[in-house]
């Protein structure tokens, strides 16, 4: 039965109880009052009239007013005949009274009047007693019925009061327990209500919702498990080492490559605090250091491998929830690079001798003692000489670079005055400068301390700066070469007033094979500045550049001063 119907029936029943009880009570009270009224009207009044008639009868012979009083009460009595036998007696009283009216001393009639009045009185008294008895009986029966009805209704109402709240509260309790279970992710919870009402519908809806959530949860878990296994499979099959940490730097996972490189087993270190592990593990320590991308040389599994260290932050909505360190295996690139360097070194070395002999042959041809050449021949010969020079410069740069790359820079470090290094470099580019009518101004600060340097390689760097400066400076301009003291350092610089370099290219200017994009000289290799940096840093100095478009450039390096 529907809850609405139950409520309607319950409340309807109570309403009916009130109506029935009320109607029954009203009817009973009415009936009792009518009985009392009837007694009063039918019998009591008769007694009063009879009493009045008897009083009038006492005074009848002498008091003529008594006739009127008698007549009035008799008339009222005649209108109030209610009991069986009362009519005949009343009629007899009338007849005897008419005789007394004619003969006041008619004793028989007077006696007849008295007897009949007495009879009427008796009849009415008996009727009063009977009616009283009837009224008592109907009051008792009404009281009995009311008690019975009251008891039955009270029992029903009591049953309702005891059971009805449960009809509502029990399903609500079960439903709220079910909702709490769902809130606690217990999606297997079901509500079993046998009733077919609104609560039954609610329980069915709840059960189907819980079933859907259960299905969703299981499919989600299955999907998450699948994703996890897939990611684990991908991570474990990578050639790069991968280690994951949570936001508290505790190890979350590590793939097999990382295990063999670091020399620790994943199951032994998961959940451990990484800095604690780093205390006893060099590689872990290196990985945890916040150093920018750096090449690492690692000897593992009987061979040397090369890795670059990359840190990837794991974020969830702006919040940092962990970190993944990837050791990218660059060994194959390294091997290729090595092969390339060896190839370049061999080729450059092999080219040097034939180019030198081309140069020598060209200068012999240029000698007038061997024979005179016409103007065109001389121009061709000079172009051969220029190209041979350029080739020799390129091969020597490539050779230097391969030395740098293989870590084979041979340094002859000695104390050297800045002046001699600068002089050597300026002399080497003098001819080139003259050809472009560029003048080189040297500015060497007085009483400069000496520096510890490889004179040859340092002046090679200055020559490279000067060659570039001459190349990119306008004709007939001035190039300044300076050496000055900067605190505890000696600073060398070459300043030109050429085209300058855009600020955005400056960070990469010392990279290998890097040439500033644009309408610049095409002939260079992009190696000069990279070799310069390696030469200067190998000697403990640092190289720098200041430049702006249209304002020329200032390339330089600093060496620690000998104090």
Check binding of 499 to ligand ADP (CB under 6 A): yes
Q: Between 417 and 526, whose beta carbon lies closer to ligand ADP?
A: 526
Q: Select from 112, 171, 244, 498 the one that contacts ligand ADP (CB under 6 A).
A: 498
Say how many C-beta atoms besides its own lie within 10 A of residue 346's C-beta: 12
Helix ranges restricted to H, 367-502: 375-405, 418-435, 455-472
- Evaluate whether 249 touches 275 at the Cβ level (below 8 Å): yes
Binders of ligand ADP: how many residues, by CB under 6 A?
Answer: 20
- Evaluate whether 327 touches 240 at the Cβ level (below 8 Å): yes
* Binding segment toward ligand ADP, per CB under 6 A, in 71-79, 224-232, 267-275, 498-506: 498-506
Give residue 58's Cα distance to chain centre.
Answer: 116
- Evaluate whether 296 touches 309 at the Cβ level (below 8 Å): yes
Check binding of 509 to ligand ADP (CB under 6 A): yes
Q: Whole-angstrom Cα distance, residue 452 to residue 539?
A: 8
Minimum CB distance to ligand ADP, residue 357 (Å):
24
Binding letters toward ligand ADP, positions 526-555, x by CB under 6 A = xxxxx----------------------x--
CA nearest to 175, candidates 148, 142, 197, 149:
197
Q: Select from 158, 333, 343, 520 the one that contacts ligand ADP (CB under 6 A).
A: 520
Read out DSSP for 500-527?
---GGGGGGTTSTT----SSS-S---S-
Residue nearest to ligand ADP (CB): 524
Check binding of 472 to ligand ADP (CB under 6 A): yes
Check binding of 436 to ligand ADP (CB under 6 A): no
Convert 94-121 into a string of H (helix), E (strand) and C (coil): HHHHHHHHHCCCCHHHHHHHHHHHHHHH
Query: Residue 374 carries which DSSP code?
Result: -
Say how many C-beta atoms besides its own lie within 10 A of residue 380's C-beta: 12
Check binding of 490 to ligand ADP (CB under 6 A): no
Element (H, E) at 232: helix 198-236
Q: Between 197 and 534, whose beta carbon lies closer to ligand ADP?
A: 534
Minimum CB distance to ligand ADP, residue 563 (Å):
32
Q: Select from 525, 537, 538, 546 the one that contacts ligand ADP (CB under 6 A).
A: 525
Minimum CB distance to ligand ADP, residue 293 (Å):
22
Q: Between 408 and 519, whose beta carbon lies closer to ligand ADP?
A: 519
Check binding of 556 to ligand ADP (CB under 6 A): no
Check binding of 468 to ligand ADP (CB under 6 A): yes
Residues engaged in binding ligand ADP (CB under 6 A): 464, 468-469, 472, 496, 498-499, 501, 509, 515-516, 520, 524-530, 553
């Amino acid at each position: 039965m529907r809850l609405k119907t139950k409520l309607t029936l319950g409340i309807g029943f109570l309403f009916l109880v009130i109506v029935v009880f009320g109607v029954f009570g009203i009817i009973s009270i009415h009936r009792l009052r009518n009985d009392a009224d009837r007694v009063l009207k039918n019998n009591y009044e008769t007694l009063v009239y009879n009493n009045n008639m008897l009083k009038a009868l006492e005074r009848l012979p002498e008091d003529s007013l008594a006739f009127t009083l008698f007549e009035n009460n008799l008339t009222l009595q005649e209108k109030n005949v209610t009991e069986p036998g009362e009519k005949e007696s009343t009629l007899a009283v009338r007849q005897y009274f008419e005789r007394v009216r004619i003969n006041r001393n008619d004793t028989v009639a007077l006696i007849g009047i008295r007897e009949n009045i007495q009879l009427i009185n008796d009849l009415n008294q008996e009727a009063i007693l009977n009616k009283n008895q009837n009224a008592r009986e109907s009051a008792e029966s009404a009281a009995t019925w009311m008690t019975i009805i009251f008891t039955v209704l009270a029992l029903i109402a009591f049953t309702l009061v005891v059971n009805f709240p449960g009809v509502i509260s029990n399903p609500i309790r079960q439903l709220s327990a079910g909702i709490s279970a769902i809130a606690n992710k217990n999606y297997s919870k079901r509500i079993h209500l046998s009733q077919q009402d609104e609560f039954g519908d609610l329980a069915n809806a709840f059960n189907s919702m819980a079933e859907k959530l259960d299905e969703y949860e299981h499919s989600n878990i299955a999907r998450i498990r699948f994703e996890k296994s897939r990611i684990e499979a991908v991570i474990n099959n990578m050639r790069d080492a991968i280690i994951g940490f949570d936001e508290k730097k505790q190890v979350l996972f590590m793939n097999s490559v990382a295990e063999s490189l670091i020399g620790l087993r994943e199951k032994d270190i998961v959940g451990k605090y990484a800095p604690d592990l780093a205390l006893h593990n060099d590689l872990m320590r290196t990985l945890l250091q916040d150093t920018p991308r750096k090449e690492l040389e690692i000897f593992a599994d009987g061979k040397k491998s090369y890795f670059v260290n990359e840190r990837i932050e794991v974020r969830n909505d702006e919040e940092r929830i962990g970190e993944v360190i990837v050791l990218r295996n660059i060994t194959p690139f390294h091997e290729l690079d090595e092969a390339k360097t060896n190839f370049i070194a061999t080729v450059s070395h092999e080219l040097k001798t034939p180019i030198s002999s081309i140069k020598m042959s060209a200068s012999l041809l240029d000698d007038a003692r061997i024979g005179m050449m016409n103007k065109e021949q001389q121009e061709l010969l000079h172009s051969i000489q220029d190209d041979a020079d350029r080739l020799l410069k390129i091969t020597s740069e490539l050779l230097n670079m391969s030395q740098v790359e293989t870590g084979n820079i041979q340094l002859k470090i000695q104390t050297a005055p800045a002046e001699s290094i600068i002089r050597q470099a300026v002399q080497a580019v003098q001819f080139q400068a003259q050809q472009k009518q560029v003048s080189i101004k040297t500015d060497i600060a007085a009483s400069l301390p000496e520096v510890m340097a490889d004179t040859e390689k340092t002046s090679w760097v200055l020559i490279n700066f000067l060659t570039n400066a001459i190349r990119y400076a306008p004709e007939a301009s001035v190039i300044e070469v300076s050496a000055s003291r900067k605190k505890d350092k000696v600073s060398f610089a070459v300043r030109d007033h050429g085209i300058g370099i855009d600020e955005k290219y400056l960070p990469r200017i010392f990279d290998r094979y890097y040439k500033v994009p644009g309408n610049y000289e095409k002939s260079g290799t992009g190696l000069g500045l990279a070799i310069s940096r390696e030469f200067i840093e190998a000697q403990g100095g640092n190289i720098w550049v200041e430049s702006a478009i249209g304002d020329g450039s200032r390339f330089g390096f600093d060496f620690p001063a000998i104090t």
